[in-house]
Amino acid sequence: MTAEQYPKVYLYRRIVQAKLFIDNNYADKIDLGNISDEAYFSKFHFIRLFKSVYGKTPHQYLKNVRIEKAKELLKNEVSVSEACFFVGFDSVSSFSGLFSKVVGTSPSAYLTKHQQTKRKISLAPLSFVPGCYAYQHGWLENSNFEEASD
């Protein structure tokens, strides 16, 4: 069985195209119509095929992509409101509600936790690296790191 021979390759390519459309346009106002148009399917047929491949409906997948992107932004110390609008939500309260439900912590608590971690890393980077790796790289010989980790 080669790539060109596996069953329904043309369907797979269109579903993948739709998934990549979501990955690339999650921050815009896209709806199922946009996405199924992208894949050249009727809405109903498209939702069924998408779910059978990815285990989520396109709408669930879009929400998941937006939350994952928001997590990345918050880890990089972007504010909650900026992260919210950047990933395509219209309101901070609906964003915060969904984020809390999916991640298990509020976006502001998530941001604070990662800000604290970043501060700890900047003060003592070696405490975040297993000693065997630091030794192999010769990082333990760097006096600046030794001072920082004291």
Partner 1 sequence: MITKMTITNIHVINQDSAYDFYVNKLGFKLVDDIQMGPGTRWLTVSPPEQPDLQLVLFPVTVSKMFPKEIADNLIDLIRKGIFGCGVLTCNDIFATYEELKSKGVEFIKAPTKEFYGTEALFKDDSGNFFSLQPINNFGNENNI
> Which parts of this chain interact with partner 1 (CB under 8 A)?
1-3, 6-9, 11-13, 15-16, 19-20, 49, 52-55, 72, 121, 125-126, 128-130, 133-139, 142, 144-145
Least CB distance to partner 1 at residue 40 (A): 15
Nearer of residues 43 and 92 to partner 1, judged by Cβ: 43
Q: How many CB atoms lie within 10 A of CB 2?
A: 6
Q: Toward partner 1, which CB reaches closer, 85 or 135? A: 135
Q: How far is the CB of 68 from partner 1 (least distance, A)?
A: 8
The residue (of 19 and 66) whose beta carbon lies closer to partner 1 is 19
54 or 86: whose CB is closer to partner 1? 54
- Of 109, 108, 42, 115, the C-alpha closest to 80 is 108
The residue among 72 and 90 lying less far from partner 1, judged by its C-beta, is 72
What is the smallest separation between the CB atom of 1 and partner 1, expressed in angstroms?
Answer: 5
Closest contact distance (angstroms) between CB of 36 and partner 1 is 15
Minimum CB–partner distance for residue 136 and partner 1 (Å): 4
**Three-class SS of the chain:** CCCCCCCCHHHHHHHHHHHHHHHHHCCCCCCHHHHHHHHCCCHHHHHHHHHHHHCCCHHHHHHHHHHHHHHHHHHCCCCHHHHHHHCCCCCHHHHHHHHHHHHCCCHHHHHHHHHHHHHHHHHCHHHHCCHHHHHHHCHHHCHHHHHHHC
